[in-house]
Structure 1
Amino acid sequence: MTTAAIAALALSQRRRVAVLKPAQTGVRPGEPGDLADVERLVGAGPTLRELRRYPDPLSPEAAARRSGLAPLGPVEIARAATELDADHDLTLIEGAGGLLVRFDERGNSLADVAWALGAPVVVVAEAGLGTLNATALTAEVATKRGLNVAGVVIGSWPDEPDLAALCNLEDLPVAAGAPLLGVLPAGLGAAGREDFLAGAGRGLSPWFGGQFDPECFAGSASAQK
């Protein structure tokens, strides 16, 4: 949903957008995957490319091993991203499971792709308990590998946030060492295209072309609670 929201805002600004999904796992041939959700929510505007599809809902490396299909390496991913970027204003690369989830038996991951491309990293975090540790670990690894963590987005904000979620609005940027760049509401993926674009605008910061203000959102969320 975060990838689709960023793409929707960029398309609304008449930017040429490409979305690359290097490895789609847990989906069989002919079934809709993540890129189908992007197209459903933003229309036929972006160029969509999927490099590998594995039927088992596992890491790309494990799914490739079990299926007998060819694994995916960072060179192939970086080459595809570079080709797309030559003809687009914005190329979004969506990972599978996290920054260090293995693509192949050598342990190559999305972190290696980001480093090879010099691309900024946006961390998509959960709202509640457990998210601070996962976010901090991701950011620490990214920083040690010389990656630029642009910010963090909460990918699904509950209708009735608990105390942990409310506190995480302040604590997540600290854990990430980067600003809170957006909060997307739960259920946004069920919206029609116009409502999805409006929700993306409200939920993502001006860094993406939206109107999200973390201080205003935190104050509003706390008041509702």
Structure 2
Amino acid sequence: MPVLVITGTGTEVGKTVTTAAIAATALAAGRSVAVLKPAQTGVGPHERGDADEVARLAGAVTTLELARYPEPLAPGTAARRAGLAPVRPREVAEAADKLATEHDLVLVEGAGGLLVRLDDDGGTLADAAQLLDAPVLVVASAGLGTLNTTELTAHELRSRGLDFAGIVIGSWPNEVDLASRCNLADLPMVADAPLLGAVPSGAGAYPPADFRAAAPSWLAPRLGGDWSASAFAVSYAS
């Protein structure tokens, strides 16, 4: 898995912290890691973006942004409003391929969900994943409403013939409600894909050393960790 594309079921579901956890786990295993952010929106020229946050939490990763737009909008819209060139799927694929020649693992973190537009021609992260022939990891929320958005994302991945690697819950709540407990079984069922981890809520605020030490315990073996979906579900059984 030299390239892994990371998308979400929407915004604010924990993609960046999940990306950092995967990067930290790979670094701990002695792998070299690059993080590619095709389009960063909603930050100024000298502000920290998502790739910078991954590096802060995970450690010595190579980071690359292809474009940055000031307004917190979909990349295609933000590019148009700023009068700047958009990022196109082929550029994303070419950049990821180049990074993969120099690193053991390349993590491509999208903006928002799978079909958020990168340009006015309708190019998306899904198109980049197809060009890369790379597996796609879906970061989902834990609670009520996540089943619909996760199943829709899974349906789109399969309709395009993409490799759906699995699901990570990007922010597992400190106080677990009934919906979240039930979703531990229902998410993999509706998506027909494995649950590959659960990142605790607030993990992005951990001191970096604590984050790196804990990250493998949040991720399943396919992502380099030692987390067990079945054991996790049992611990929250009611």
Q: Which bin holds the TM-score, normalised by the shorter protein?
A: over 0.9
Q: Distance in 1 between matches of 2:58 and 2:166?
A: 23
Q: Which position in structure 1 is the counterpart of 2:28?
A: 12
Q: Tell me, what secondary structure is at the counterpart of 2:169?
A: strand
Is 1:75 the equivalent of 2:96?
no
Q: Which position in structure 1 is the counterpart of 2:10?
A: none
Q: Distance in 2 between matches of 1:221 and 1:158?
A: 12
Supply the AA of the counterpart residue of 2:228: D
Q: Distance in 1 between matches of 2:134 and 2:237?
A: 34
For structure 1, which runs of at least 5 residues remain unmatched after alignment?
Answer: none
- Return the offset for 1:198: 2.7
| CA deviation string 1:73-127 (max 9, x = no partner) | 0111111001100111100000001110000011010000000000000000000
| CA deviation string 1:16-73 (max 9, x = no partner) | 1110000001111101111121111122x11100000011111000101111111110
- Return the offset for 1:222: 2.8
Is 1:37 the equivalent of 2:44?
no
Q: Distance in 2 between matches of 1:175 and 1:84?
A: 34
| Count of residues in correspondence between the two structures | 222
**Is the 1:20–1:93 Cα contact (8 Å) retained in structure 2?**
yes
1:162-181 equivalences in 2 (<5 Å):
162-181=177-196
- Return the offset for 1:194: 2.4
Structure of greater relative contact order (alpha carbons < 8 Å, 6+ residues apart): 2
Q: Tell me, what secondary structure is at the counterpart of 1:14?
A: coil
Supply the AA of the counterpart residue of 2:77: A
Q: Distance in 2 between matches of 1:73 and 1:209?
A: 30
Q: Which position in structure 1 is the counterpart of 2:3?
A: none
Tell me which of 90, 94, 101 is aligned to 2:116. Answer: 101
- Return the offset for 1:200: 1.2
Q: Which position in structure 1 is the counterpart of 2:230?
A: 215
Q: What TM-score results when the alignment is normalised by the length of structure 2?
A: 0.91
For structure 2, which runs of at least 5 residues remain unmatched after alignment?
Answer: 1-16
| CA deviation string 1:181-200 (max 9, x = no partner) | 00000011111222112321
Tell me which of 169, 172, 175 is aligned to 1:160. Answer: 175
Is 1:184 the equivalent of 2:199?
yes
**Is the 1:188–1:199 Cα contact (8 Å) retained in structure 2?**
no
Supply the AA of the counterpart residue of 2:30: R
Runs (4 or more) in structure 1 with deviation over 4 Å come to none
Percent pairwise identity: 59
Is 1:2 the equivalent of 2:18?
yes
**Is the 1:184–1:199 Cα contact (8 Å) retained in structure 2?**
no
Q: Tell me, what secondary structure is at the counterpart of 1:165?
A: helix
RMSD: 0.9
Q: Distance in 1 between matches of 2:137 and 2:214?
A: 19
**Is the 1:25–1:58 Cα contact (8 Å) retained in structure 2?**
yes
